[in-house]
Structure 1
């Protein structure tokens, strides 16, 4: 260890156990909240069914509503406890890409400058893909690295050895 790395040794040990936990809790909250709103709301997917990318545009709006609702609810809970984390993150990644394509991407844009205006939280006629893009970026480490040591995935892996 050097004088530069020594002060960070406790943070490195803590990070090995809990770095991915913050991402898991954040994403679990966001996706569960979205799924819960669908559970308690009315299906509005029929208004944008044609905007869904293939193969989801081939399914009924009702089926897509159920599919996204259950994916958001169940995968959020799995992320929270760190079980099937990579699979859950992948499913939520796909749900988010479909949401960007169908809801958040601008309907019309003619150049990168115009497309960049959609990188916002609120829609002013240019789309609003900033927040779903943040979710995609946050899901990538969970897909690549898994849940970390503070998870059921890690405990099950150790138990199998």
Structure 2
């Protein structure tokens, strides 16, 4: 019985290990689509988005609203493609830090509120992409292989 359980567990772990490329792909596609969609909505209603920046007291609201909207749109698209994944994670993290600091933090009271804020989750996911990269199924990996750069995937 013990041998059967160990063998079954070993097989299951082998299957999961062989499919480890699927996790980053799914997260990249879903998370990237989320940002692409929010960016498109903000770009299509840039005047309304700018008004929100004015209400929040963000300096240079027209410029910063456009920058934020286009960062989300292009960042989401590039994330879905797995293209420049690590690089694009940096402006996305900055975008979320600014949102957290200038908009969201006004209604947060303590550490629990910060940890539960969506922006903290987004920053964490982008940080993971910055460190871990896009995964095996991505344009970044394809380009790296074409250039002869070894990847750990």
- TM (norm. structure 1) is 0.76
Shift of 1:26: 2.5
* Structure 1, unpaired ranges of 5+: 51-56, 121-128
Residue 39 of structure 2: aligned partner = 35
Counterpart secondary structure, 2:103:
helix
Residue 110 of structure 2: aligned partner = 115
Larger radius of gyration: 2
- The 2-side partners of 1:150 and 1:23 are apart by 12
- The 2-side partners of 1:26 and 1:139 are apart by 13
- The 1-side partners of 2:34 and 2:118 are apart by 10
- The 1-side partners of 2:111 and 2:147 are apart by 48
- The 2-side partners of 1:7 and 1:118 are apart by 38
Counterpart secondary structure, 2:110:
helix
How many corresponding residue pairs?
138
Query: For the aligned residues, what is the CA RMSD?
Result: 2.1
Shift of 1:119: 4.9
Answer whether contact 1:27 1:135 (CA < 8 A) is retained. no
Residue 46 of structure 1 pairs with residue 54 of structure 2:
yes
Residue 137 of structure 1: aligned partner = 124
Residue 12 of structure 2: aligned partner = 7
- The 1-side partners of 2:114 and 2:37 are apart by 22
- TM (norm. structure 2) is 0.80
Bigger proportion of residues as helix: 2
